[in-house]
Amino acid sequence: MPDLPLTAWIIFAGILGLLVGSFLNVVILRLPERMAAEWRRDARDVLELGGGDEEVKAFEPVLFRVSDRMVGGGASFSAGGPGKGMYTRLYQNILNRFGFAQSASVFNAFYNGTGLFGVYGAAPAENMGQLVAALCEEMTKMAGPISDVELSRAKNQLKSSLLMNLESRPILFEDIGRQVLTYGARTPASELVQQIESVTAADLNKVASKLLKTPPSIVVYGDTTCVPRYDVISRQFA
């Protein structure tokens, strides 16, 4: 063996370690994931399953976001103006219709493989029965007719909100981190805008029907005297 100085041997060992580590990373981590992805794709082709569940699940959060903008809502006291949600369903059908309604709005959260989509409302205790019935009615209407105007408005609001928020560096970095941790990759804003634009009324009806088939979770805070029982509420979604 050549008589090399100790420093050269240390550098050589370090380079060799990096090469071996990179090779093991590919063989142990990346190669099995790539093979599994190719196997799923080949299996879908053989079984003629089309795009597969992965693509559907990746698109569902976009559908729920559009539904969020369409159903909307807010508080009974608002300054109004463009973008305040005054033309959303909860504003028009609940807050503008029932004087006792203090607030009515939708909320959602998405995780890897699951999520949460719900509606929140507040009113005096004696009016809770009417408010619950009205909120349930609006939820079931999500699977019904959707006008071109409200669909276009919801998509435009979502696109503008997305692009405006991503102009902020802290929000941009948070978005990158959330997407990578949740989905393993980040979808560029341009692609998200295309996905939003491709949403149809039929897509929203389909995902709403799927949502309404799951048993509801109900949380009540305050005086529950006039709140309907769980079985009475859940039957409205059957």
Taking the alpha carbons at both ends of the chain, their separation in whole angstroms is 80
Spell out a b/e string for 16-49, using b for 16 or more CB atoms within 10 Å of the CB, else e: eeeeeeeeeeeeeeeeeeeeeeeeeeeebeeeee
pTM above 0.75, yes or no: no
| Per-residue confidence (pLDDT) for residue 27, from 0 to 100 | 46
Angle between helices 52-71 and 148-165 in degrees, nearest 10: 100
- How far apart are the C-alpha atoms of 235 and 216, rounded to whole Å? 10
Question: What band does 5 get if pLDDT is binned at 50, 70 and 90?
Answer: low
How, if at all, do strands 114-122 and 103-111 pair? antiparallel
Q: How confident is the model at residue 44 (pLDDT cuts 50, 70, 90)?
A: very low
Q: At what angle do helices 52-71 and 201-212 cross, to 10 degrees?
A: 100
Spatial CA neighbour of 226 closest among 131, 117, 110: 131
Give the CA angle between residues 95, 106, 73 to the nearest 5°. 30
**pLDDT over 60 at 80, yes or no:** no
Q: How far apart are CA 120 and CA 202, in angstroms?
A: 25
Do the beta carbons of residue 94 and residue 123 sit within 8 Å? no
The average confidence (pLDDT) of the chain is 77
Please give the average per-residue pLDDT across 166-173, as a whole number: 85
pLDDT confidence of residue 50: 42
- The encoded tokens of residue 113 equal 């493989």
Tokens at 193, concatenated:
């805008």
Element spanning 207, H or E: helix 201-212
CB 41 within 8 A of CB 58: no
- Residue 224: in which H helix or E strand, if any? none
Label residue 203 by pLDDT band (50, 70, 90).
Answer: very high
Which residues touch 222 (CB under 8 Å, ≥6 apart)?
A: 125
> What Cα–Cα distance (Å) separates residue 223 from each residue in 12, 123, 124, 133, 220?
74, 11, 9, 17, 8
- Spell out a b/e string for 69-101, using b for 16 or more CB atoms within 10 Å of the CB, else e: bbbbbbebeeeeeeeebeebbbbebbbeebeeb
- pLDDT band with cut points at 50, 70 and 90 for residue 228: very high
When pLDDT is averaged across residues 211-236 and rounded to a whole number, the result is 90
When pLDDT is cut at 50, 70 and 90, the band that residue 238 belongs to is confident
